[in-house]
Amino acid sequence: MDYLLLKYLHVLGAIVLLGTGTGIAFFMLMAHRSGDAEFVAKTAGVVVVADMVFTASAVVVQPITGYLLADLMDVPLWEGWLGVALLLYGVAGAFWLPVVWIQMRMRDLALESARAGTALSTAYHRLYRIWFLFGFPGFGSVMAILWLMIAKPGL
């Protein structure tokens, strides 16, 4: 496969990961801050779909295009900056997978509250705090990977 096409697809995947992650975080934060269970439920529903369509697609494309690029350039996968990037990719995934489940559960709990006409539950708020905290290492790992891809430091 052509190097420039692979690089384009790889960069596009990084943009989708960062863009979707930023958008999801912003919209979930704004919905949560509203305290409106129905708004939270609808927003979380859209967020779950966005994660499944965009983030999951990029999560699949990134390692494939990354591997093909490394192979094309004869860069060893587990050495230097690329090895660190792969480890960080694992960290990002370890935090993203539970976040997807948490978002689904938050959606369901908010929907229950909206239907009952009650405030968001303690269980919802506990999950929100975990979701919020997991965003830092998950998103931070992706940001660090982007820097490694650009700088390619000698490690």
**pLDDT for position 79:** 87
**pLDDT for position 116:** 98
Interhelix angle 37-50/3-34, nearest 10 degrees = 170
**pLDDT for position 51:** 93
- Using left for φ > 0, alpha for ψ between -120 and 50, and beta otherwise, residue 152 falls in left
The stretches of 35-121 forming alpha helices (DSSP H) are 37-50, 56-73, 80-116
Instruction: Tell me the one-letter amino acid at 32.
Output: H
Sequence spans of domains, the chain: 3-151
**pLDDT for position 87:** 97
* Alpha carbon of residue 110 to chain centroid: 21
pTM for the model: 0.90
**pLDDT for position 1:** 75
Give the separation between CA 31 and CA 41, rounded to whole angstroms.
9
Q: Give me 101's structure tokens.
A: 């489940």
**pLDDT for position 154:** 87
* Alpha carbon of residue 94 to chain centroid: 10
* pLDDT (tens place) for every residue of the chain, 155 residues total: 799 999 999 999 999 999 999 999 999 999 999 999 999 999 999 999 999 999 999 999 999 999 999 999 999 999 899 999 999 999 999 999 999 999 999 999 999 999 999 999 999 999 999 999 999 999 999 999 999 999 999 87
Tell which residue, 85, 92, 127, 88, has the closest CA to residue 20. 92
Give the separation between CA 34 and CA 143, rounded to whole angstroms.
28
Interhelix angle 56-73/3-34, nearest 10 degrees = 150
